[in-house]
């Protein structure tokens, strides 16, 4: 190695982008380091599949770099000299190998970003930070777009992104097929006779990694079949999953994107978020592949299916990241309704008599995955109605889902799901009674509770808790035009009916661990 300039480059576990310009040439004076450390396994209580999946992907990525003749140092979880913090491990490597420059990629988490910024300021060698070359937008782009504005409308940002990147627009920067958003064409319930396609899963052997995690007593949740780990752990598998989605699922994605059914954990969802969030594949690759599939099969894939999918990635995903970097770190403390309760114990076991929650939580524990409506309108809906502190809800979502990284999790949870940000992300709280859950799922059939009953024995808890929530927060929500109709209904109820609902909700909330 050239003694004049020896460069150490850090790659985080969610920065596994083999197409990054860093790797376009092999430098004999450049060494890459990846590390499995306790500061990352322990800042939240993660699903075992999440820890296993990230470590497996990191190990595969390190091997791929070595195969391309890059110098790589890999620090395993139980290495004797592992100091279990980024800064401590890097300092030890600099001292041991006499590196003269340290470089890293912009972290996606505020916590890690602050840690590395503080660390490099104290370093006695030069340092440099690079973009990850992954996202469609920069960290500050959303803030720049809405400068001076009080609201941050996702639709405005989505249209800006479509125009800027020339996605699904004509030569005059107008949307294809005359509309920007085809949301109303989506969102149907799964017909009883309809059996979704079996999802593509992988059979990765990650037993060795699981054993190392157990050996080091990392505290995890959920379960894993380590001989047949189902998630993609390299770029090849991620591209296979992308191809499976565009070939077999995109044609019905939009139609059933909000549908829920017991034992149907994947339906027509892409499940590409884990691969994208650790950067095995890029959002542009995903969007371009979906558009290419549409052009190849216009008779099979309706435009509304494609637009709904593209909006999730180029719109919602990028928008959430923009809000995160605009509003952190204050965002992580927002609690608009001043909620204080703890999550019921069965959120960690799935042992509840409510079918919708039982299924969504068991699925999350088994697969480290639930789709957006299960997260928003089942678990999130219940948590908000039950008055759970946003910190509790954040910790649960961040831990249980394989694709949950704070930049995308906290804005969805604290913002969209819990309305803890008071309306930065969403224009109204996303709460519902049993009626919506029944409309979009078959959960209510055969449930211990009766979806049609608001009060009395076996009345569905969602029904009374729904009205109790609106009553409790009328001072903050009463003038919201998007939910004015619900307050009109509430105010027209006679006092006895109102009191019955409030008493029923109060009983359920006091006995929440028994529901």
pLDDT for 452 beyond 50: yes
Q: Are residues 119 and 179 in the same domain?
A: no
Q: Does residue 452 sit within a domain?
A: yes
More confident residue, 184 or 48: 48
Q: Are residues 183 and 258 in the same domain?
A: yes
Q: Does residue 203 sit within a domain?
A: yes
Q: Does residue 2 sit within a domain?
A: no
- Rounded Cα distance, 75 and 59, in Å: 10
* Domain CATH number, residue 291: 1.25.40.80
Q: Are residues 169 and 291 in the same domain?
A: yes
Place of tokens 């050239």: 2
Q: Does residue 406 sit within a domain?
A: yes
- Rounded Cα distance, 465 and 387, in Å: 10
Q: Are residues 449 and 482 in the same domain?
A: yes
pLDDT for 172 beyond 90: no
- From residue 411, give the alpha-carbon distance in Å to each of 35, 46, 330, 426: 27, 18, 12, 10
* Domain CATH number, residue 376: 1.10.579.10
Q: What is the pLDDT of residues 461-498, one digit of tens each?
A: 999 999 999 999 999 999 898 898 899 999 999 999 99
Q: Are residues 125 and 149 in the same domain?
A: no
Q: Are residues 118 and 145 in the same domain?
A: no
- pLDDT for 4 equals 74
How many domains is the chain partitioned into structurally? 3
- Rounded Cα distance, 50 and 48, in Å: 5
- Rounded Cα distance, 304 and 254, in Å: 7
- In 3-state terms, what secondary structure has residue 44? coil
Q: What is the pLDDT of residues 502-512, one digit of tens each?
A: 999 999 999 99
Place of tokens 């470089």: 103
Q: Is the dihedral of CA 38, 44, 50, 54 positive or negative?
A: negative
Q: Does residue 135 sit within a domain?
A: no
Q: Are residues 249 and 155 in the same domain?
A: yes
Are 301 and 251 contacting, i.e. CB atoms less than 8 angstroms apart?
yes
Q: What is the pLDDT of residues 364-386, one digit of tens each?
A: 999 999 998 999 999 999 999 99
- pLDDT for 1 equals 43
Are 159 and 318 contacting, i.e. CB atoms less than 8 angstroms apart?
no
pLDDT for 2 beyond 50: no
Provide the pLDDT confidence category of residue 183 given band limits of 50, 70 and 90. Answer: confident
Q: Are residues 164 and 121 in the same domain?
A: no
Angle among Cα 509, 513, 515 to the nearest 5 degrees reads 75
Q: Are residues 300 and 425 in the same domain?
A: no
Average pLDDT of every residue of the chain: 94
Report how many helices (DSSP H) and strands (DSSP E) the chain contains, helices first.
Answer: 23, 5
Q: Is the dihedral of CA 209, 211, 212, 214 positive or negative?
A: positive
Q: Are residues 178 and 197 in the same domain?
A: yes
Q: What is the pLDDT of residues 218-249, one digit of tens each?
A: 999 999 999 999 999 999 999 999 999 999 99
- pLDDT for 185 equals 67
- Rounded Cα distance, 281 and 245, in Å: 14
- CA dihedral of residues 509, 513, 514, 515 (deg, nearest 10): 60
- pLDDT for 150 equals 87
Q: Are residues 126 and 147 in the same domain?
A: no
Q: Does residue 334 sit within a domain?
A: no
Mean local confidence (pLDDT), 311-319 = 96
Q: Are residues 32 and 116 in the same domain?
A: yes
Q: Does residue 93 sit within a domain?
A: yes
Q: What is the pLDDT of residues 91-121, one digit of tens each?
A: 999 999 999 999 999 999 999 999 999 999 9
Task: State which H helix or E strand residue 274 sits in.
Answer: helix 273-277
Are 196 and 256 contacting, i.e. CB atoms less than 8 angstroms apart?
yes
Range of the domain at 236: 141-327
- In 3-state terms, what secondary structure has residue 388? strand
Single out the residue in 100, 130, 160 at which a domain terminates.
130
Q: Does residue 336 sit within a domain?
A: no
- pLDDT for 3 equals 53
Are 126 and 101 contacting, i.e. CB atoms less than 8 angstroms apart?
yes
């Amino acid at each position: 190695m050239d003694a004049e300039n020896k460069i150490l480059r850090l790659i985080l576990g969610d920065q596994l982008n083999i197409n990054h310009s860093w790797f376009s040439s092999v430098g004999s004076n450049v060494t890459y380091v990846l590390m499995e450390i306790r500061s990352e396994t322990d800042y939240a209580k993660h699903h075992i599949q999440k820890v296993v999946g990230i470590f497996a992907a990191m190990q595969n990525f390190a091997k791929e770099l070595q195969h391309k003749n890059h110098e790589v140092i890999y620090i395993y979880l139980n290495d004797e000299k592992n100091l279990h913090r980024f800064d401590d491990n890097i300092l030890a490597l600099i001292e041991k190998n006499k590196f003269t420059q340290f470089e890293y990629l912009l972290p996606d988490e505020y916590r890690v970003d602050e840690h590395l910024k503080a660390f490099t300021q104290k370093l006695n060698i030069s340092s440099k930070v690079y973009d990850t070359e992954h996202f469609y937008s920069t960290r500050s782009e959303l803030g720049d777009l809405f400068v001076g504005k009080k609201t941050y409308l996702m639709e405005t940002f989505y249209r800006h992104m479509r125009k800027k990147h020339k996605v699904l627009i004509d030569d005059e920067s107008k949307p294809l097929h005359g509309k920007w958003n085809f949301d109303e064409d989506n969102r149907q319930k799964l017909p009883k006779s309809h059996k979704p396609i079996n999802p593509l899963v992988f059979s990765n052997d990650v037993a060795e990694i699981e054993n190392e995690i157990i050996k080091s007593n990392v505290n995890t949740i959920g379960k894993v079949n380590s001989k047949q780990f189902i998630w993609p752990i390299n770029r090849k598998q991620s591209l296979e999953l992308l191809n499976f989605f565009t070939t077999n699922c995109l044609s019905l994605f939009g139609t059933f994107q909000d549908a829920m059914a017991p034992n149907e954990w994947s339906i027509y969802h892409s499940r590409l978020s884990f691969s994208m969030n650790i950067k095995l594949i890029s959002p542009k690759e995903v969007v371009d592949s979906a558009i290419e599939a549409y052009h190849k099969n216009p008779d099979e894939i309706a435009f509304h299916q494609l637009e709904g999918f593209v909006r999730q990635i180029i719109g919602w995903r990028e928008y959430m990241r923009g809000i995160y970097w605009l509003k952190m770190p204050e965002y992580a403390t927002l609690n608009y309704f001043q909620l204080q309760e703890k999550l019921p114990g069965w959120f960690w076991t799935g042992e509840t008599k409510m079918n919708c929650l039982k299924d969504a939580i068991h699925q999350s524990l088994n697969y480290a995955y639930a789709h957006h409506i299960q997260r928003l309108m089942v678990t999130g809906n219940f948590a908000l109605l039950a008055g759970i502190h946003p910190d509790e809800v954040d910790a649960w979502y961040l831990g249980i889902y394989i694709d949950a990284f704070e930049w995308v999790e906290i804005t969805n949870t604290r913002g969209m799901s819990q309305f803890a940000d008071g309306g930065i992300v969403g224009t109204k709280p996303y709460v519902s009674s049993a009626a919506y859950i029944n409309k979009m799922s078959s959960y209510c059939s055969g449930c211990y509770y009766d979806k049609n009953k608001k009060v009395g024995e076996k009345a569905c808890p969602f029904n009374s808790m729904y009205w109790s929530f609106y009553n409790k927060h009328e001072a903050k929500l009463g003038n919201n035009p998007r939910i004015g109709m619900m307050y009109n209904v509430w105010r027209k109820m006679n006092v006895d009916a109102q009191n019955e609902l409030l008493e029923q909700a109060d009983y359920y909330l006091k006995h929440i661990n028994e529901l």
